Amino acid sequence: MGSPYLSTNETIILSAHDLVINTIPAEAILTSQRLMLVDKIHPRILPQDIRFTAIETVTTGENADSDPAFSLSIITPDGTRQPLEVIFPQKPRGDRTVERDEWATRIRGLSQQAQEESGVIAMELRPPFVPGEVPEAVDSQEPGEDNPARPRIRSPSLSERRNKAAGASRARTIGIVALTLIVVAIVAAGIVFFAPSLLPLLPTPATQPPVPTVTATATPVPTPSPTETQAPVPTPEVTVVSPQQEKPAVPQTGIWVHVVYDGRFTGTAGPPGRFRDIAGSGDQFYQLSAKDEIVFAYITKPDNSGNPLTVEIYDEGEMVKAQTITKPGGTLEISAEVGNP
């Protein structure tokens, strides 16, 4: 199995997080030295490295559902060829043919170059991408020729992460309920204390005096004199200006993805095997569960505007990478290595 860490002279060329490899939902990272395959069903298993010196052929085509695909023929130590079918599932009215072709062309070129320099070197594929028993967990590896000694960080299991999230959610809910009860109690006490002083005094009903008998007497009607009418004084209009919304502060601890867009956006972000969904609008920060590894972000503009969409990756308060697109309906792809000094 492979290592999710990059060597000194290794760079990332392509990445995809929505693939099916030999019927297994997977992610893939193509670097200048290898092809890494990540099993999304078993995220605690380290990626499978495919060496370019073991790839005999690269062919493109489609599966039975008309999804673009390419097939790799891997040379194994016993002299047989093990196929790896990589499928690019398409959404309705989507087309991933260009993406498939770019992957196939890059792998074909890197394989030819590696075999010209070092020759053909067979390798053994391990589950889950070939039949066999899948190990329950792989947290570390012994150093070797293909795996230089590097520090390893144990990732919590899916159940551990869910239990931790559920506990935090319960504690947050209890805190909100307690705070709400305190506020209601304070408001109720204020009403009871101040209500008597705010109620107006009701007037005491006056006794009606007896109505005297009046004898009508003719009196001259005075001629009314003209009364000066006072013009109404116009009331000045008052415009209330709302304060400008403040920009959120950059978190100083942890790994964060910062998305800025004047509209709705959707996507995913995280390290291989631990992607989280992202959806929102405006100026938002999203924390990632990652440490000393490569993180990726795929953010899409669902509208057809030309407004800029910016995505930034922060590590302990410091921005390590940023990227912007303006293409209507486009998807921004960004990756960065975090946690390494």
pLDDT in tens, the chain (341 residues): 444 578 888 899 999 988 999 888 999 999 999 999 998 888 777 888 999 999 999 999 999 989 999 999 999 999 899 899 999 999 888 899 999 999 999 999 999 999 999 999 999 888 888 887 776 655 444 444 444 444 444 444 445 555 665 666 777 888 888 889 998 888 888 777 776 665 555 555 555 555 555 555 555 555 555 555 555 555 544 444 444 556 788 999 999 999 999 999 999 999 988 899 999 999 999 999 888 889 999 999 999 999 999 999 999 999 999 999 999 988 999 999 987 65
Residue 248: the pLDDT is 82
Rounded CA-CA distance 153/141 in Å is: 11
Residue 56: the pLDDT is 92
**Cis peptide upstream of residue 128 (ω within 30 degrees of 0):** yes
Rounded CA-CA distance 4/147 in Å is: 11
User: Which run of H or E residues covers position 111?
Assistant: helix 97-118
Residue 145: the pLDDT is 45
Joined together, the tokens standing for residue 201 give 């005094």
Global confidence as pTM: 0.47
